[in-house]
A and B are shown apart, each in its own frame.
Chain A
Amino acid sequence: MRTIFEVERSGSSDAGLVPLPRSAGADGLPPSLARKRALRIPSLSEPELVRHYTWLSTLNFGVDSGFYPLGSCTMKYNPKVNEDLARLPAFAGAHPEADADLVQGTLAFLFEMTRLLREMAGMAEVTLQPAAGAHGELTGMFLVKRYFEEQGETKRTRILLPDSAHGTNPSSAAIAGFSVSQLPSGRDGMVDLAALRGALDETVAAIMLTVPNTLGLFEERILEVTQAVHKAGALSYFDGANLNAYVGRARPGDMGADVFHFNLHKTLSTPHGGGGPGAGPVAVSEPLVEFLPAPRIVKESSGLRLDWNLPRSIGSVHSFYGNVGVALKAYAYLLALGDAGLREVSGNAVLNANYLQERLKRTFRLPYDRLCKHEFVLSGEGIAEGVTTLDIAKRLIDYGVHPPTVYFPLIVHEALMIEPTESESKGTLDRFAGAMETIAAEAKRSPELLHDAPQKAPVRRLDQTRAARQPVLTHPFKERGA
């Protein structure tokens, strides 16, 4: 892999993108404050630069490249028009400190987006400030903390989590200053009500649940779970990573959620960007509204404005108002789909998952064999002697598919977590299932094909251990003159 620092270059020393300054140095800058060592950032001509990054892009696999069944990540198609709209200069150019009267269009869609998300959640109010799902979790944990502080219930310092939870859940709880207690899942993969009731006491602040859970199973006893939590004086946090399973058909507020975060980059189709930017709006029940981050958008006869006067707010969790550009793409997506489209999204996502599950369980072990929601979890265990889930995942690359999420959830050995989304056709699913079956046969007949995979990727299997032991995090520049 060649980096920009290794591109053989012939470009000029100044790219000529902006006018040249008139002097060689900053007039009035004391020498002690002036940069001494020259920057080591290469200067390339524009064609060289474009070739380098275009080449890099060809080494990447995105949703537009092919099937991307990465469980829990909802890698659905990202509509192109939304990209164009977010780039409109009237939106993209606006400065966050502009007076409200100059950004009424932006405030209008943020206000409307807040309303739509509030109604989708079936909850009292929404903040758009969190910049990602985990940031939404953290914001939610801050809200829970502040709520109990205000109640004077300072003993509530524990968060309960099922053992199937995403890693961000315990981490968000811990960063917000809570301790974490793990709840073992029942044999059916769901919350064990007896274990929950045994764990609930006056030290529990909240339970963090993912609905449906990370096995792709809907918590059928969700109402009993939240009732037990509320009866114990605690709150229910719902991780919305899996909202694609029931969007347009059910609402977390109706299940007893007190805090719920959306992942706009999952359910509402905004692109994942290779790892962000995302957006993690948070919905809350009535008792938590007054603690939401500042500012909030309010509508008055003179128009929309930002209200900073929120004395009981937890404060801010983002520089400004969250990832506005991401919210705009999600808003355009909601407008395109409408309510009926949302129902089709969950309907097709769940149908696709069940269809694949039904076929693949003939070849792979399915630890929880029942109706799934938008995703399901297989085990690669026992496919063939000496073959691991990682081998299966890497071999899928040779068949032109992005591997599923692997080794998660932790409660399934050799897990393969598959989420097809509604963006895939039956034909794509059939081809994927065919590839999985072929790989299972290869695993028995010629396991070296799996061990040596991938063969058709830009690189062979990469040595993660080496990177962990001897990390090289920046380009090792040769000293000048060397």
Chain B
Amino acid sequence: MRYIPNTDADREAMLQAIGRSSLEELFSDIPQAVRASFRPLDLPARSELEVVEAAQGLARANRYGDYVSFLGGGVYDHYVPSVVGQVASRSEFYTAYTPYQPEVSQGTLTAMFEFQTMIAELFGMEIANASMYDGATALAEAVLMADRVGRKGKVAVSRALFPHLRRVVSTYAWAVGIELVEVPCGADGRTDLSALSQGVSALVLQTPNAFGVIEDLSGVKERLGEALLVVSANPIACALLEPPGAFGADIVVGEGQPLGLSPSFGGPLLGLFASREAYLRQMPGRLVSRTLDAAGQTGYVLAAQTREQHIRREKATSNICTNAALCALSATVYMASLGAEGLRHLALLNWERAHDLAAKIATFPGYSLAFKAPFFNEVTVRMPGDAERTRLRLKEAGFLVGSSKPLAALGVPNALRFAVTEKRTPEEIDRLVLALGGAR
């Protein structure tokens, strides 16, 4: 086996040193009945070339790359600069584990500290952690944390969450026994807070929301009283839009995939988690802090570990251990490669292209933007007739758009949502508009 360095002679010598006669003897402590019922996999070993050929065969069965994609809904087709993959491919980073031994993990720890700073900056928050699994579990943990602070056992959630966020939040809330109260949306596509129920630990909003609409967060925090404001935000949008932290949000989470990660059929993703400093001891996940070494030099370590499972066990704020550190490193390099100005330009380019597409579609008779409120890089369009049929016709013409069914389930029938990133060229946008004309 090419991944195992011991030779037969090594094994012989080692067995002799421990007074055993065979490898099998090392497993004599497994009950005989268990060993007897073992069934091997019907799986031959393969050479590296054969493994590559098998994987390439599977890759050829994926036809996704033949299409121009306007899919979004939380995962976006952004350009990933080469430098991101190159840095994340350095094996000193990717073959290390959680930096429990900080003296030999300063690379990971320093990058995590940079990541925490950049996410706090983007979201306009005081502190951020070193990552969660994905945007959905980050939001679910935010709901748990908010209820630990608020202790009402009840959390209000906007109806306009992406369905995948709502699904995961619902699962966690059921297990913990938190009641979720849905807050409806108004005619402008924004969450309608006029009938917000009292006695909740928190209100959960998403911006831009499931319709692509930017929520207006001004005054929301004030209306909430003691309840916490939890916002799930698109990090790229925050380079252009006033971030949730500026409106007094208490916890801001998000899906970090837009920050330099490939879609990878939905995983690995990157959970972003930022908070007000006052809630530090209630936060889930790893936190990296600056400190000093024995010689007085600056260095970085895991901090506030008394919140964590390996110390606090059943009283920990979260059970999370392994998170998404390498994805966070990629996001850090991505943000650093663009810089503040580059991130703003990128967000603006997304805005422009999405608005170009929206303006063109809206000229078709019977087509209209579903909502008047501002949107960022994703727009919901109402259309005459069966939207699902239109979607399938667009697919025949080589364009991918998300299914109409989730929108219909949110009360917006006959509509499709188009996501437009910087990767969608003006020509592709024009071709989509033409195809839509033909698909009507």
Contact = CB atoms under 8 A, between A and B. Distances in A.
B412 to A, nearest CB: 17
B117 interface: yes
Given A18-B79, A318-B267, A394-B103, A467 B341 contact: no
Nearest to B400: A98
A50 to B, nearest CB: 6
Interface stretch (A191-199, A352-360, A377-385, A440-448): A352-360
A272 B322 contact: yes
A271 B313 CA distance: 26
A457 B31 CA distance: 45
| A contact patch SS | loop
A222 B309 contact: no
A4 B342 contact: no
Contact of A131 (B144, B175, B265, B268): B268
B242 A32 contact: yes
B269 to A, nearest CB: 6
Size category, B interface: 35 or more
Contact of B294 (A83, A116, A342, A460): A460
A237 B332 CA distance: 37
Contact of A276 (B290, B308, B327, B349): B327
A168 interface: yes
B374 A29 contact: yes
Interface stretch (B83-91, B181-189, B378-386, B428-436): B83-91
Contacts of B195: none
Contacts of A42: 336, 339-340
A98 B289 CA distance: 40
Interface string A167-190: 110111111110110000000000
B62 A102 contact: yes
B333 A177 contact: no
B300 A1 contact: yes
B33 A105 contact: no
Contacts of A86: 264
Contacts, number: 692
Interface in A415-465: 422-426, 428, 452, 454, 457-464
Interface string B38-65: 1111111110101110111111111111
B170 A315 contact: yes
A305 interface: no
A332 B55 contact: yes
A471 B170 contact: no
A98 B241 CA distance: 29
Interface in B1-49: 1-6, 10-11, 13-15, 17-18, 20, 23, 26-31, 33-35, 37-46, 48
A275 B355 contact: no
Given A60-B92, A350-B26, A320 B293 contact: no
B223 interface: no
A459 B52 contact: no
A301 B94 CA distance: 40
Contacts of A342: 41
Interface in B257-305: 262-269, 280, 286-295, 297-305
A274 B325 contact: yes
A89 B65 contact: yes
Contacts of B343: 39, 41
A352 B11 CA distance: 9
A397 B101 contact: yes
B348 interface: yes
B124 interface: yes
Contacts of B297: 1, 459-460
A82 B337 CA distance: 27
B310 interface: yes
Interface string A69-101: 010010111110101111111111111111101
A188 to B, nearest CB: 11
A44 B87 CA distance: 15
B328 to A, nearest CB: 8
B105 interface: yes
A416 to B, nearest CB: 13
A241 to B, nearest CB: 10
A88 B85 CA distance: 12
A168 B309 contact: yes
B40 A248 contact: yes
Given A15-B342, A33-B216, A423-B4, A59 B107 contact: yes
Interface residues of A, number: 206
Contact of B175 (A85, A176, A393, A408): A176
B4 A62 contact: no
Contact of B51 (A13, A131, A332): A332
A466 interface: yes
A318 B288 CA distance: 25
A135 interface: yes
A326 B59 CA distance: 15
Contacts of A56: 106-107, 110-111
A354 B38 CA distance: 23
Interface stretch (A228-236, A281-289, A333-341): A333-341
A177 B177 contact: yes
B135 interface: yes
A393 B100 CA distance: 11
Given A28-B374, A402-B104, A463-B292, A91 B264 contact: yes
B3 A77 contact: yes
Most chain A CB within a 10 A radius of its CB, from B42, B79, B293, B339: B339
Interface in A391-406: 393-394, 397, 402-403, 405
B348 A95 contact: no
B316 interface: yes
A58 B107 contact: yes
Given A318-B137, A319-B135, A102 B63 contact: yes
Interface in B130-157: 130-131, 133-137, 144
Contacts of A173: 314
B108 A348 contact: no
Interface in A319-375: 319-326, 328, 332, 334-342, 344-348, 350-352, 354-355, 358-359, 371, 373
Contact of B94 (A29, A62, A339): A62
Given A64-B95, A466-B291, A319 B77 contact: no
B352 interface: yes
Most chain B CB within a 10 A radius of its CB, from A23, A173, A341: A341
Interface in B333-392: 333, 335-346, 348-349, 351-352, 355, 374
A148 interface: no
A209 interface: no
Contacts of B120: 473-474
A209 to B, nearest CB: 14
B171 interface: yes
A467 B26 CA distance: 44
Contact of B62 (A33, A104, A175): A104
A298 interface: no
B397 interface: no
A133 interface: yes
B101 A403 contact: yes
Most chain A CB within a 10 A radius of its CB, from B58, B99, B134, B329: B58
B168 A318 contact: yes
A338 B355 contact: no
A120 interface: yes
28 contacts: A18-B345, A26-B352, A33-B242, A36-B242, A37-B124, A41-B343, A43-B340, A46-B83, A60-B105, A61-B92, A81-B48, A81-B51, A131-B268, A172-B309, A177-B175, A248-B40, A274-B97, A275-B98, A319-B75, A319-B255, A319-B269, A320-B265, A337-B1, A359-B17, A424-B5, A426-B10, A462-B300, A475-B113
Given A78-B91, A95-B77, A104-B62, 11 more contacts: A26-B240, A95-B263, A251-B34, A275-B326, A276-B326, A325-B264, A336-B48, A346-B27, A351-B14, A354-B18, A464-B291
Q: 10 closest pairs, A vs B, by CB?
A: A320-B266, A43-B339, A96-B266, A273-B326, A338-B45, A62-B95, A60-B107, A105-B61, A275-B325, A277-B268
